[in-house]
Amino acid sequence: MNATRGGISCDVLILGAGPGGYAAAIRAGQLGLKTIVVEGEKPGGTCLNVGCIPSKAMIHVAEEFHKATSFAISGKSALGISHSKPKLDLKQSVAWKDGIVAKLNGGVSGLIKKAGAQLIQGWGKMLDGKTCEVQTKEGTKVIHAEHVVLAPGSVPVELPDLPYGDKVISSTEALALEKVPARLIVVGGGYIGLELGTAFAKMGSAVTVVEFADQVLPHYDRDIAKPVAKSLTDLGVTVHLSAKAKSLSKDGKALLVEDAQGKELSLAADKILVTVGRKSRMEGWGASNLYLTMDGPFIKIDDQCRTSMSDVFAIGDVTGEPMLAHRAIAQGEMVAEVIAGKSRRFDPAAIPAVCFTDPEVVVVGLSPAEAKKQGFDVKIGMFPFMANGRAMTMESDSGFVRVVARTDNHQVLGIQAVGKGVAELSSSFTLAMEMGAVLEDIAGTIHAHPTQSEALQEAALGALGHALHI
């Protein structure tokens, strides 16, 4: 990097080293562009440090503990396995999780360096569309860039009457607890709330979910949400639907809730986990110094992630829904190639969404209702895991795979699944969508037996009117 005008010059400046930012930095470096990525905390962003990765680690801890606990209860295991009651050292579990995060942090830093890009640790503030001032441990650094990529990410939404602090926590604090709360209230029955709520229920918390909508996972259709709701009931989780979280009680020991009938409830709690969504991070990095056209609360971009300012790009959560790490990674890689002069557009056929609930949920493309709303006449094929041999041998016969296709030409418009381990089917679903598969493509593809993936083939066969195993 060359010093100029009292600062550092580069081809590409990336603000934020989350999934999108570090992917952009790696690809830009690979393409020979002089690249600097600025990050105020550890590389990896929310996903790696306090989101996707640590939450999945704790979900695994909870699943293993719950499994061991069920084996310790006489008569619970049909497998013939039994042992004494297990104990959970949550502090040790968190340390194990932190070790995974630290290893991946180092991996990201190493990949950035290997690609020839430079990571500067410090809080960056854009002074204009070409200049960033960074506060580092060594002092202030000024960076001048030909191209800027904004990737500041998102932050949890805070409820005005339930500000974070002490008893009220966000997912970040929930993943750092060293003791399982005896009574945990989860405000918000979306995927974050249910992932963590389910995990703590399996670790021994008495969990209560308060959801404003009339079903859990309100952004998914009822067929998808139903097996998840049943699992919550089986775990002993109390769910209040069409309910509004109001505030803490005067003594601070309970959450006041207005239920579906308008009655006020007082729910005692040791911790209150608020998971009502995330919002784009538009403060703290100099957004007010830029002239950006907004699309509601998000930065407006085109199909190359260009903003309204010349040579200023934006990627990831700050650009809108879906706020998913893999979307940001794809955008970051593409933007680096656009800056390098390659012809690229961000136009995916579908972006998969996964809920690591119990059972897991995968949604790719259009649901039946969404397809019909867009004017498509559709054929629907659904295959239940209770008819899948592999699922039965894993005690995971809850849920199904569903395929939605056009009636006229059989093009697949969407694939959804709910069931144990279905997250690993997401790539197959997305690939089928991206390659423009028709029902006959999936039905005619030989799927390995016995695997859960056979449910995809069977769903396609079912949509064609001749499923084999149901």
Neighbours of 132 (CB within 10 A): 28
Contact 365, 445 (CB under 8 A): no
Tell me 20's DSSP state.
H
Tell me 306's DSSP state.
B
Residue 347 amino acid letter: D
Identify which of 288, 92, 285, 94 has the alpha carbon closest to the alpha carbon of residue 174. 94
Residue 164 labeled ligand binder? no
Strand, coil or helix: 210: strand
Residue 56 labeled ligand binder? yes
Distance set, CA 221 to CA 115, 331, 386, 387, 413 (Å): 43, 28, 20, 22, 16
Contact 301, 144 (CB under 8 A): no
Contact 413, 365 (CB under 8 A): yes
Gap between the Cα atoms of 185 and 168, Å rounded: 9
Residue 206 labeled ligand binder? no
Residue 195 labeled ligand binder? yes
Residue 144 amino acid letter: H
Neighbours of 6 (CB within 10 A): 8
Residue 188 labeled ligand binder? yes
Contact 267, 257 (CB under 8 A): yes
**Bridge-partner residues for 206, per DSSP?**
183
Contact 151, 14 (CB under 8 A): yes
Distance set, CA 251 to CA 87, 247, 268, 372, 450 (Å): 33, 11, 11, 50, 56
Gap between the Cα atoms of 333 and 30, Å rounded: 11
Residue 462 labeled ligand binder? no
Rg of the chain over all Cα atoms, to the nearest angstrom: 24
Active site annotation includes 66: no
Residue 191 labeled ligand binder? yes
Residue 317 labeled ligand binder? yes
Neighbours of 209 (CB within 10 A): 26
For the record, the structure tokens of 175 come out as 């993943």
Residue 277 labeled ligand binder? yes
Residue 66 labeled ligand binder? no
Residue 332 labeled ligand binder? no
Residue 270 labeled ligand binder? no
Query: Annotated catalytic residue: which of 144, 147, 410, 449?
Result: 449
Residue 433 labeled ligand binder? no
Residue 465 labeled ligand binder? no
Neighbours of 300 (CB within 10 A): 15
Residue 458 labeled ligand binder? no
Where do runs of H (alpha helix) occur along 220-315?
222-234
Binding residues for NAD(+): 188-195, 211, 277
Binding residues: 56, 124, 188-195, 211, 277, 317, 323-326
Annotated active-site positions, please? 449
Binding residues for FAD: 56, 124, 317, 323-326
